[in-house]
Structure 1
Amino acid sequence: MKKAANILQYVVVFLLVYMTINFFFNGNQEPASGNDFDVSVNKELSQNELVTVKVKNNTDFEAIIEDECPNEPLTVNKKVNGEWQTVQATREDCKDAADTTIAPGEEATVSFSGWNYELFNELGTYKVAADIKVPDSPDKSKTFESNEFEVKEQGWFSFLWTVGFYQPIFNALIYITSVLPGNQLGFAIIILTIIIRTILLIPAHRSMKSQRKMQELQPKLNKLREKYKDNQEALARETMALWKDHKVNPASSCLPLLIQLPFLIAIFYVIRSGLSPDNVHLLYEPLKDFSFSAINTNFLGILELTQVNTYVLPLIVGGLQFAQMKLAMIRNKKKEANGAPEKEKKKKAPEMEVANQMMVYFMPVMLALFTASVPAGVGLYWSTSTLYGIAQQFVVNRQVQEETSSVRVIKK
């Protein structure tokens, strides 16, 4: 049951990652009309939140929104004293600029990354207009407006998130990048990851140690379950007493993942949309003069950190996670294989072996799929963090083994 509980904890944590990344700061989008094209924006956005526009092609023809970088991708209008006024901005970096093509019946997302702060930094009511070209239709070009949307002041949670997590990590990453030769983002991510894991070293170490002790206590817990199988109240009482005697906290088993979650999400947003001159307002004063165009996002000539890597990096992340989980269980499996009676092994096999196998294989697959859906910089962060965790797990395993051996010697 403990293994099944661990699986549930891991699943909950990574569902939270997906849900937070997909839902964080987002509201409901409404189509502005039922015309040939629906142009929609979230009805409410907080200040500094990235504005994205969904354009749905309801026609039978391919449509194109032409790229006009360094100018903004769509026309932005702001309501001032009851009248609409056009707001304009320019972008420094146009290396990834390209036309947006929308197939019949499909939907495309247009982002204002690179223009966002300059266009939408003031509170108020906005709408956007998309000039859409349809070469094969009778009407070669049309303009469609979005719904009106409000840019409101940041809520307290959003403010705390920005000031407490996003901005410090953003500035730390930019600072490390700025002092590295060649402004290498990849090595900056690795260094920042090591710093973060070192800051979290003590709570993570205690959690890993507690988890290992739980594994060492498993034979005793099995005996208690057998002894009090008809008395759940007594079983709960004796189990709590056993945990207390050995200073074990079962609730801490997923702590290493939970405490990394805010940092993981912050890294995700920094890599996805933070490395833009549009975010210069988030830099601390000593870094204001840093040029974002100087950042080298190519890692070792093989990995573009701002793009999704679908194959190689997910396999690496999944493999490292598999190795860490096998390492976390290997000592306990050896003990069970050498010390448990044959009858007890058979008794536990259906429940515990299935749970073990599920956790060992399910979690790496889940992480690999997650890595295949986010910028490669996030995968590099997770790979480095997992390698750090593997080294830490070696130390924890040795410490617990030495403590257990000492206890046995004293008892003899």
Structure 2
Amino acid sequence: MDSRTLLALVLSIAVLIGFQFFFGGDVSQPPSEETGVENVPTTGISEQASDHEYGERILTDGGADVSSLSSIRKPDIPVDTKAPLRKARDITVETDLYQLVFSERGGTVKKYLLKQYLTTLSDDAAPVNLIDVSSLHLPLGLQMESQPPVDLSSQFFEPDKEGLKLTQAGEEAQLKFTCNMSNGIKITRAYTFHQGSYWIDLSVYLSGAGTIPGTLCLYNKPGKEGSGLSGFTYSKFTFTGPSYYAKNELHEIKLDDIGEKHAYTGPVDWMSYGDDYFMTALVPIVSEGPWNVLIEKKEADGLTESRLTALKPSLKDAGQGVEVLNLGVYFGPKDIDRLNALGHNLSKAINFGWFDPIAKPLLYFLKFLYRYIHNYGLAIIIVTILIKIAFWPLAQKSAKSMKTMQKLQPKMAKLKEKYGKDKERMNKELMQLYKTYKVNPLSGCLPMLLQIPVFFALYKVLLQSIEVRHAPFMLWINDLSAPDRLMIPGVNIPYLGGIPVLTLLMGLSMYLQQKLSPSSLDPMQARMMQFLPVIFTCMFINFPSGLVLYWLINNVLTIAQQHYVNKFTD
């Protein structure tokens, strides 16, 4: 087997198994102790800090070293045993983008429906709901870090309005929830909503109890793999779970790998739970803090609690109490333009792993094309053509070299016959032959080799970008992020359902490409190469249809180029 054929086979296998290695993303494991992050044992957060008003040890430069919430001594908030015993009302807030339902009990979020994103493509599909947890673990639960800590999720928060509906462009509205405890302590949660934005401003005020750090909690769990039935759908090739961005580094926390708890103390840009398409995030307005992040696995089904604590709340009374928390809340899609506009490094939540330097520009360019042609399938075709043009000189040189190699086959056969028993001499003579005719035996595989990073980057974009989720192309292809299937009534292929027409066309294009390419005189090599279209067809059968479209168009352009070389090159 010559080196060109061997390399082609190696590249094919690399494409086949490479995505299983790369597509998990560049998941940052918890930093070492030098970065201020530690894996926490089940006993809780570190208690090594000396006593301080906010339970932290303050360095001379104003930064926080190690947090110890349990060192807080005063003032305390006693549990209110006289909370009203009645059914909690639902308070609904509606904008053009979402419908949010609060519960009076705890002032927590009970439901969050994204109006512009549906769970499936069916006509009766429901909007994506980012809240899929039990009533015992609703997001935006509040806890005051007194001694002992007081969980306010069971306390009633009275709203100042029965609900809100924003209808005018640029409209803003505020909703306040107030918990008046029987001991005279008052806690107010003030939300400000913005029409046309997923961003919500949140301030928490404490009156009658001095200044005590406050904690907000996120509760989330992944949906079933590939189900698409909940906001957070699990995929074994990408990351779904809690994360935070601190000190210019993204930390994606896999609790199954590092233990039941993970903690960090220091400046934080944001803390979130997310998957490929959506995220729920808490964003400190003043990121320096210091803040305490505690992420804990609560139940076997993957339910995760993420807690964000302001260790140094404001000392100023804002008229309705001391502001103990000042945050932005973002519950919505991982739309790169929206996240960039909001700042706070939120766009770093879109993580394409090792291929980020290629995937991000590719995504921006696809979005640029979409603004004019309004079809991501056509945008992919244009990108494929432009990539082919960029590689045209190299591919043209490679095609000519392969044709020259075909002409040299008789001479190579004679050398193998003459020096077959002397491998060293035969290789030396072959190298001299290549040098004489100025050909490179590996040049035929070079264009494919250079396109592999683009291939992987496009896969990541199609798999993880909200922009192409449920994006139609034409005919039966109604979702470029999903495998193509032509559904015919009465036809149900086992394990596939419909007919993968686009994938079969891609396999056929590879077969035609091989027929036009210079063939090897070695029958064994020829038979091995004939299996490549079958291998690629099987491999692509469950790939996103947008990726299959890219490879199909690339093959068609390669066939046209090879036809040109065969016809007009001596």
Name the TM-score class by shorter chain: 0.5 to 0.7
Higher helix residue share: 1
Higher strand residue share: 2
Q: Which position in structure 2 is the counterpart of 1:16? A: 14
How many angstroms does 1:44 deviate by? 2.4
Q: Which position in structure 2 is the counterpart of 1:55? A: none
Residue deviations 1:175-198 (CA, integer Å, cap 9, x gap)? 111111xx1111111111001111
Q: Which position in structure 2 is the counterpart of 1:71? A: 130
Q: Which position in structure 1 is the counterpart of 2:558? A: 389
Does 2:425 match 1:230? no
Give SS of 2:17's match: helix
Q: Which position in structure 1 is the counterpart of 2:29? A: 44
How many angstroms does 1:143 deviate by? 7.9
Q: Which position in structure 2 is the counterpart of 1:31? A: none
AA aligned opposite 1:71: L
How many angstroms does 1:366 deviate by? 1.2
Contact 1:197 1:388 in 2 (8 A): yes
How many angstroms does 1:129 deviate by? 5.6
Q: Map residues 5-404 of structure 1 onto 2, 5 A cutoff.
A: 5-24=3-22, 26=24, 44=29, 69-71=128-130, 85-87=216-218, 97-99=228-230, 112-116=275-279, 118=281, 127=295, 144-145=303-304, 161-163=355-357, 165-180=358-373, 183-276=374-467, 297-303=471-477, 304-309=479-484, 311-329=500-518, 352-360=522-530, 362-400=531-569, 402=570
Residue deviations 1:152-196 (CA, integer Å, cap 9, x gap)? xx9xx9887423x1121111111111111xx11111111110011
Change beyond 3 A, Cα 1:232–1:297: same
Q: Which position in structure 1 is the counterpart of 2:326? A: none
Q: Distance in 1 between matches of 2:407 and 2:112?
A: 61
Give SS of 1:248's match: coil
Q: Distance in 2 between matches of 1:316 and 1:228?
A: 43
Q: Looking at CA atoms only, which structure, 1 or 2, has the larger radius of gyration?
A: 2
AA aligned opposite 1:16: A
Q: Distance in 2 between matches of 1:117 and 1:204?
A: 46
Q: Distance in 1 between matches of 2:564 and 2:413?
A: 27
Structure 1: unaligned runs, 5 residues or longer: 29-41, 47-65, 90-95, 103-108, 133-141, 149-153, 277-291, 334-347, 403-412
AA aligned opposite 1:171: Y
Q: Which position in structure 1 is the counterpart of 2:200? A: none
Contact 1:88 1:119 in 2 (8 A): no
Q: TM-score if structure 1 supplies the norm length?
A: 0.61
AA aligned opposite 1:390: I
How many angstroms does 1:73 deviate by? 5.1
Give SS of 1:250's match: coil
How many angstroms does 1:223 deviate by? 0.6
Identity of aligned residues (%): 26
Residue deviations 1:117-157 (CA, integer Å, cap 9, x gap)? 8469999966466789xxxxxxxxx8844899xxxxx9xx9
Structure 2: unaligned runs, 5 residues or longer: 32-110, 114-127, 146-212, 221-226, 234-239, 242-273, 308-347, 485-495
AA aligned opposite 1:356: A
Contact 2:129 2:230 in 1 (8 A): no
Give SS of 2:517's match: helix
Instruction: Number of aligned residue pairs: give it.
Output: 300
Change beyond 3 A, Cα 1:234–1:77: farther
